Amino acid sequence: MNKSPNILQTPIDYLKGVGPNRADLLRKELGIHTYQDLINLFPNRYIDKTRYYKINELQRNSADVQLVGKIVHLKTVEQKRGKRLVATFTDDTGSMELVWFRGHKWIKESIKINQPYVVFGRTNWYNGVYSMPHPEMELLEEHKKNMRITMQPVYPSTEKLNNKGITNRVVNKLMQQLFIETRGRFQETLSNKILNELNLISKNEALFNIHFPKDQELLAKAKFRLKFEELFYIQLQLISKNIVRKQKIKGLTFDQVGTFFTDFYNNHLPFDLTGAQKRVIKEIRNDLGSGAQMNRLLQGDVGSGKTMVALMSMLLAIDNGCQTCLIAPTEILAQQHYNGLLELVKDLNININILTGSSKTSERKIIHEALENGTLNILIGTHAILEDKVIFNNLGLAIIDEQHRFGVAQRAKMWHKNSVPPHILVMTATPIPRTLAMSLYGDLDVSVIDELPPGRKPVKTVHRYDSNRLKVFKFLKDEIEKGRQIYIVYPLIQESEKLDYKDLMDGFESVAREFPLPDYQISIVHGKMKPADKDYEMERFVKGETQIMVATTVIEVGVNVPNVSVMIIESAERFGLSQLHQLRGRVGRGAEQSYCILMTSHKLSNDSKTRLETMVNSNDGFEIAEVDLKLRGPGDIMGTQQSGILNLKIADIVKDNDILKTARYYAMNVLKNDTNLSKEENAIIRYTYAQLAKHKNIWNYIS
């Protein structure tokens, strides 16, 4: 093997043309510490210099063009402020002007009249003449000698770098120097088998053509090769983590399908399971009986029946002599899970309890004792379950609801609640686009519940402008007449709480005018109310004593009123797609047709229009999540704590979805046939993988 991997770890200070000051700036501004970091600074875009135009081919639009010709005349022209230098530039088809507003003396002295030049710049058309201000110029004979960059790369930069003279041209020169010092020879990182099957160009060709592409075709090949490689090694790491965990981390084996599971399935199921629920339960049963620790992500839209799958998994754990717990991000959700599960297991001899931040000391004492002596079978709760003083007798399965609200460290805490790590099932109703799931949760096995329970009709969604409000009110009166209830939701954006509160109160007053007492009763719920008042209003609505609930987004998670048939979302343009989809999931819980009405003003940005159109056209959470990912990017979707998670150098998990799938397929194949990468054919992959792990170039960003 040649020495290039080692030379690439050379500090950037030693590259000719850098020196200590520039090195310091490159480190701070672009994170470039070594030759390797510089080679991985990929251009944002390219200026195409593959063509030489003739003057008679120029168009009257401002475009960057390159021409070959001679300067036949130079003159200085007086103007209101100072002077300008004008050169007449000709080729065999016509003439144009080159113009300079500063640096006259130096330019005048350096220009050679009647010598062939190559000029490059943006053209202007004025008074029947083409002109090019401050062109880049090079004598034709020099131009032929230089490293031929026909498509000029434009690199990422910052204001500070430009101010300190590290322009795009300087970075370009440094890149050329790097290729000279390394002789353009780089260690191959992919096996011959992969290179041949995918018809990929070599690492040397790819790096040369990403920085100095000869033409568009070679550039496309270089991009594909480098994107594939980056995604391949990320997938290799995630998948091998999964395999290693299954081999090394032994889990409890649940080989009994006992009386609790069977009795519940045969006698107490409130409705038939959907095909998707049955498939997912089967996947979970296989994991639990495999002898390896389960780590599974369960995705399903609001109302798809995840809780039922969770309960069936819990019953399996209890049948095998283990305890189980379910952790939810908020007290409202924990309470809802507790009430729901209590109702479902009321005829089984199962001990179930709830532990949250507001549990009284006396209650805690009872729970702690029952957990330690093993008489408590199921514990539902919030973060409170993660506290060190909560000790289980034999925890076999931990279920985490809405994973994105829990950090990785909190998930790891569950592992230490038992001598053998419990099985982990992570549930989410926020559909994670497949591309993100592959990248962020690639080390978890993924199950998807992709059908709704029978009898559920899809919610009809429409977009209405404020000017249609009277028609919307008329529709609401008709629905109330049929005995249905209504949600009206206002946005809540923390920074402008006063404004939001005012919107909500104004909204409440206009609704109260339109739906007066005693014919109509209205509840109101918002963040400034005391918990007791909030509960009272919720309770009235649940019992059907009020027909309309005016609220902020408090109801996004955790309220289940099957009789509600209409969800009105005010200022819908202020909501994100996933939030709109979650809110819509609060209706359509009964057998009647439900509606979601998105109200907005006429002023809408393009992104807002896309969001509203997506909501009107689709009820599929995954489709919606894909659009959301395209609009917001991966960082925003995962929330701030995870936003740095995929700091990719060249690939883009949204745009390069197909390359990601190919990379995952190849990574799986390699590991399936050679788990430890010990075969000779994978020697290059094993070596590269070890280098990347050592220098943490790629995946120090992955949780």
Phi and psi at 465, nearest 5°, equal -85, 160
Q: Which stretches of 403-492 are DSSP H helices?
A: 408-415, 434-440, 469-481
Output the six-digit token pair for 601.
């003003």
d(Cα 628, Cα 577) in Å, to the nearest integer? 6
**Angle, alpha carbons 379-339-296 (nearest 5°):** 50
- For 545-576, what is each residue's pLDDT tens digit? 999 999 886 664 456 788 999 999 999 998 88
**Claim: this prediction has a pTM higher than 0.75:** no
- For 598-620, what is each residue's pLDDT tens digit? 999 999 998 999 999 999 999 88
Give me the mean pLDDT over the 464-476 stretch: 95
Percent of the chain with pLDDT over 70: 91
Q: What is the mean pLDDT of the chain?
A: 87
Output the six-digit token pair for 175.
């890149």
Q: Which has the closest alpha carbon to 235: 432, 40, 440, 37?
A: 440
Q: What is the dihedral of CA 629, 632, 633, 636, to 10 degrees?
A: -110
pLDDT higher at 279 or 588: 279
641 pLDDT band (50/70/90 cuts)? very low
d(Cα 193, Cα 42) in Å, to the nearest integer? 26
Please tell me the predicted confidence (pLDDT) of residue 695: 62
Helices 621-637 and 577-584 meet at what angle, rounded to 10? 140
- For 154-203, what is each residue's pLDDT tens digit? 999 988 898 888 988 899 999 999 999 999 899 999 999 999 999 999 99
Unique residue bearing structure tokens 């907005």: 600
Give me the mean pLDDT over the 473-480 stretch: 96
- For 46-62, what is each residue's pLDDT tens digit? 887 878 999 999 988 77
Give, rounded to a whole angstrom, the gap between the first and last alpha carbons of the chain: 32
Phi and psi at 425, nearest 5°, equal -120, 120
Helices 306-319 and 275-288 meet at what angle, rounded to 10? 30
d(Cα 337, Cα 318) in Å, to the nearest integer? 18
- What domains can you pick out in the chain, each with its CATH number? 50-148 (2.40.50.140), 259-288+305-428 (3.40.50.300), 460-618 (3.40.50.300)
Please tell me the predicted confidence (pLDDT) of residue 21: 93
d(Cα 688, Cα 667) in Å, to the nearest integer? 14
pLDDT higher at 127 or 323: 323
Give me the mean pLDDT over the 126-134 stretch: 90
d(Cα 222, Cα 105) in Å, to the nearest integer? 43
**For residue 84, is pLDDT > 50?**
yes
Q: Which stretches of 264-305 are DSSP H helices?
A: 275-288
| SS3 of residue 597 by DSSP | strand
Please tell me the predicted confidence (pLDDT) of residue 147: 61
498 pLDDT band (50/70/90 cuts)? low
Phi and psi at 47, nearest 5°, equal -100, 120
**For residue 86, is pLDDT > 50?**
yes
Please tell me the predicted confidence (pLDDT) of residue 637: 45
Percent of the chain with pLDDT over 90: 54
| SS3 of residue 310 by DSSP | helix
**For residue 17, is pLDDT > 90?**
yes
- For 19-52, what is each residue's pLDDT tens digit? 999 999 999 999 999 999 999 999 988 887 878 9
Q: Residue 686 class from Cβ within 10 Å (0-12 exposed, 13-18 middle, 19+ buried)?
A: middle
Please tell me the predicted confidence (pLDDT) of residue 404: 56
Please tell me the predicted confidence (pLDDT) of residue 71: 97
Please tell me the predicted confidence (pLDDT) of residue 642: 38
| SS3 of residue 613 by DSSP | helix
